[in-house]
Chains A and B, each alone.
Chain A
Amino acid sequence: MNIMNALKRDTAPDAGERLGNQLARATLDHCVKCTICETSCPVSAVTPLFSGPKFVGPQGERFRDGESVDHSVDYCSSCGTCTLVCPQGVNVAELNSLARAKMKQEHGVPVRDQLISRTTLMGTAMTPVAPVANAVLGFKPARVVMEKVVGVHRDAPMPTARTQTLQGWLKKRTPPTTPRTRGPIVFFHGCAGGYFEVETSKKSIEVLEHLGYEVLVPKQGCCGLAQQSNGLFESAKKSVRTLVDQLRGAGKDLTIISSSGSCTGMLKHEAHEILGVEDEELKDVAAHVREFSEFLLDLYDEGEFPVDELRPLKMTVPYHAPCQLKSQGMGTPAADLLRLIPGLTVVDSNATCCGIAGTYGLKKEKYEIAQAVGKPLFDMVKATNKELAVCDTETCRWQIQKSTGVPTVHPAELLHRAFGLS
């Protein structure tokens, strides 16, 4: 694979046009300056370098009919909290993402951002040499060199490479024997779930199979979220379109389940609202995709979830709902679902953001900000349970684990245990 070719500048040629004419810009009309977004922004709370969502969003946007002049928009972490809390319906985060994409289109994207947003590439490169890759990433002098050369902070959390990918496991495992009473569903594991968070994917699949589903796992690539948040709109569009075709290829009108909290949001709304993908195929997938806990909680609401099979787990765990999960407007189904497990006390973090925001907290110039953003969460996690924390999204788990030393798992892991599968 010609990496340099893959890294050629590929930001959106039409980001500016979209910005000027799509709905996101029109929503700036709804801003009444109430400042609720500014008081909720986790980044501007810890650094003056970011001028805040209202400033760079509905305010700054009125001044952007021309070249990009406000580089500080790049301090926005794209967590989406502003859009979520806006009572007037302003697409604040979307405005910021588009302004940043335009800025990068005009001024270029650092090689570092192009590299770290290619999660599939990282996975394919690291899996065959997992022990070496892990050793290198754990070796301080190597990380110092990496920080200096690439710009990834020496202390930033890195994924752990696995010797076996999810697809490898699927090929080699003994096929499940549970009766398939509920029909087929499609499992979307995301790139982290395919290469790094293989355990989460395995356990999610086993829980779904335990419930009687036939779980189809088509070959699949990246959703493009990391590329999008780094302003690489064209790559992101290509990624999401390919993924949409792969997921649809598994069967018509099937429900798609994902234990990757953020990637679910990409398919549900971000690819449309931020990238501006208008394809009917995307809309079809968006209508069929369900986040893992969301899907199971719906089953519970319909009386279809075997609550009586759940064995007690006597412990107290902190639970953190990732920003991109909250942006899906479905509450926090994981917390509700885990509370069905007897004996398990789930404490909501009530923290806005862990700071990582996908790849934001990896960058050397943003690492300290990301750590400051996550501090209230880290303190809460350590005070609640030093042994275990729960969170739905991969990069957030890595951030929490690295910053607190507390092992952090997907809710599927606890359900897997409660169903007696591990």
Chain B
Amino acid sequence: MKRLQADVVVIGGGSTGAGVVRDAAMRGFKAILVDRADLGQGTTGRFHGLLHSGGRYVVSDPGSATECAEENAIITRIQPDAVEKIGGLFVATPGDDPDYADRFLAGAQATRVPAQEISVQEALRREPRLNPGIFRAIEVQDASVDGWQLVWGAARSAIEHGGQVLTYHRVTGIEHDGDQVRAVFCRDEKGGEDVQIDCQFVLNCAGPWAGQITRMAGLPEVPVIPGRGIMIAMNHRLVNTVINRLIYPADGDILVPVHTVSVIGTTDVKETDPDELPIPREEVQQMLDAGEQLIPGFRRARAVHAWSGARPLIKDDRVAASDTRHMSRGMAVIDHLQTDGVKGLLTIGGGKLTTYRLMAEHIVDTMCEQMGQMRPCTTAEEEIPPEGTKNYVITHRLEDREEDRLEDQIICECELMSRGMFTRALAEQPDGTLDDLRRQLRLGMGPCQGGFCAMRAAGIAHQSGAVDIERATGLLRLFLKNRWIGLWPILYGDQVRQTALDDWIFQGTLDVEHLPHATEEVVR
């Protein structure tokens, strides 16, 4: 068994965990992050791409609103490469509560969320596809954010500050001798060995999986409930500004243009197992109806992919256990010394991606308190990418390809990913799956959903020597299988033609089901 030493082990490689390992490392702790899979593969990778202005919560959850507004400004500044400053609009559509706009404006003022009413004509001029029946429009500072860039940025920063990030390390046990945490046991899934990390502190940032983690420490499950929401990516930017319904938070109240797509979301349904998140057909229809309410003709636009994510909601006694929509979006740190008598174990729940840095600050502050050594948090000051990095804009890749179009091949045509981008990422992560690389490169995330690029990527991976022929086949099949999860629920219109063509290519031309492959199917 491999043995490592750390001051603190952070469990969970989502935005919270990445923020926590960065924060702890920046405060001088020896910190190690472990995740059973790749970074940002859970909730962080399964959201709508919104960096909240706070507007959504000015009426329903004023505390969250202020936090969002403050953190939005910080994240936009310290992680410019992950954030596109597109701005947002709250619009009242026909049939919406006519009094809500005034409550919204009052709430925004009270919570210090920048918001300004604009004329309906101005809103329609900016976004001509909007429902012409809108009767109020309020401008806010929403942005869109790439969750994977965010999480990798934080992880790289942590590593620079001496932290360690161990992906594909599944926690198998947490040892404590009665009242003090001693070690975390992991299984290195890729390396095939067991790892013991001796530590004094464990920060449970496993989000909706947090209950499974406390159980591994032999403690009762923490009351974190997976609140499932589905999202659908439409093929291109139907709008160039975040469009929110000007109503009390509800299902299908937002359309976010992020990268090349626009994402409609979302629903909120209580689940028991965060690994089993369905994308029910009726919810797909519900989202398309919601889209139609914002953008007439939405149903005729092309959907390319759907997914389901689980919010880690802290159970709140004031609302019914099944009503996850109205559980607090606020964050909560649970100290297991108080709840279970175990020192050195904290769980964080609730919160949202926009406030990931603040959540990290809170949990590391609590840890410092318990350790009795206050060290100040500096994560809001230090910019993560090199100084002078500008905020992401949608045109970046087109501009990059304009520059290198005569030197480099395009591998993923939809997302304009070049061969060079792919081979560089593969060299950094030679044992990564195509999905691991996808999350960093957007490989296969456009309209053809891997139909034209997946086999190119598998071929290049093999050619580069990173994988043998059997693994290349396995990686290709795994990638296609995972794409399919998000494809079948939205198979209508243009995407059916694409899927049929892709199927002919893979089944007809490549006979992908019968290629030589390893006896055990590649799963990671």
Residues of A in contact with B (beta carbons under 8 Å apart)? 17, 20-21, 25-26, 28-34, 48-49, 51, 54-55, 59-67, 69-72, 88
Residue B497 interfacial (CB < 8 Å): yes
**Are the CB atoms of A70 and B398 closer together than 8 Å?**
yes
Query: Is the CB of B410 closer than 8 A to any CB of chain A?
Result: yes
Residues of B within 8 A of A (CB): 128-129, 235-237, 240, 257, 260, 300-302, 393-395, 397-399, 401-402, 405-406, 410, 413-414, 416, 446-448, 451-452, 493-494, 497-498, 501
| Given A62-B235, A70-B399; 15 other pairs, CB 8 A cutoff | A20-B128, A25-B236, A29-B302, A30-B302, A32-B447, A33-B452, A51-B405, A55-B410, A59-B416, A64-B394, A65-B237, A65-B240, A65-B395, A69-B399, A71-B402
Q: Do A59 and B494 touch (CB < 8 A)?
A: no
Chain B positions within 8 Å of A49 at CB level: 406
Contacts of A59 in B (CB 8 A): 413-414, 416
A298 to B501, CA, bound (A): 39
- Which secondary structure dominates chain A's binding surface? helix
Contacts of B399 in A (CB 8 A): 69-70
Chain A residues closer than 8 Å to B446, beta-carbon distance: 62
Bound Cα distance A69, B416 (Å): 14
Among A63, A64, A66, A72, the residue within 8 A (CB) of B405 is: A72
Determine if B447 and A31 form an interchain contact, defined as CB atoms under 8 angstroms apart.
Answer: yes
Q: List 26 A-B contacts (CB under 8 A).
A: A20-B240, A25-B236, A26-B300, A28-B236, A30-B494, A31-B447, A32-B448, A32-B498, A33-B451, A33-B452, A33-B501, A48-B406, A51-B405, A54-B413, A59-B413, A59-B414, A59-B416, A63-B395, A65-B237, A65-B240, A65-B394, A65-B395, A69-B395, A69-B398, A69-B399, A72-B405
* A62-B395 in contact (CB<8A): no
Determine whether the beta carbon of A60 is less than 8 Å from that of B129.
no
Q: Are B393 and A72 in contact (CB under 8 A)?
A: no
Residue with the greatest number of chain A CB neighbours at <10 A, chosen from B236, B399, B451, B452: B236
- CA–CA, A28 and B494, complex, Å: 10
B237 is contacted by which of A30, A62, A69, A72 (Cβ under 8 Å)? A62
Q: Which residues of the other chain, A, contact B260 by a CB distance below 8 angstroms?
A: 62-63
Partner of B398, one of A26, A28, A54, A64: A64
Q: Which residue of B lies closest to A73 (CB)?
A: B402
Contacts of B501 in A (CB 8 A): 32-34
A18: nearest chain-B partner, CB-CB:
B128
CB atoms of B402 and A72 under 8 A apart? yes
- Cβ–Cβ < 8 Å partners of B393 in chain A: 66
In the assembly, what is the distance between CA of A72 and CA of B400, in Å? 12
What separation, in Å, do the CA atoms of A26 and B301 have in the docked complex? 7
Contact B402 A33 (CB under 8 A): no
Whether the pair B395, A64 counts as a contact (CB closer than 8 A) is yes
B413-A21 in contact (CB<8A)? no
A63/B448 in contact, CB under 8 A: no
B469 to chain A, nearest CB (A): 26
List of A residues within 8 angstroms of B405 by Cβ: 48, 51, 72
Q: Which residues of A contact B410 (CB under 8 A)?
A: 55
Please tell me if the beta carbons of A88 and B394 are within 8 angstroms of each other in the complex: no
Chain B nearest CB, measured from A96 CB (Å): 13
Q: A20-B128, A61-B236, A62-B237 are in contact. Are A33 and B395 (CB under 8 A)?
A: no
Q: Is the CB of B413 within 8 A of A55?
A: yes
- Determine the distance from Cα of A17 to Cα of B127 in the docked complex, in whole angstroms: 9
Considering residues B402, B410, B446, which has the most beta carbons from chain A within 10 angstroms of its beta carbon?
B402
A33 to B277, CA, bound (A): 31
Chain B residues lying within 8 Å of A62, measured Cβ to Cβ, are 235-237, 260, 414, 446
Complex Cα distance, B413 from A64, in Å, reads 15
A51, A54, A60, A62: most-surrounded residue (chain B CB, <10 A): A62
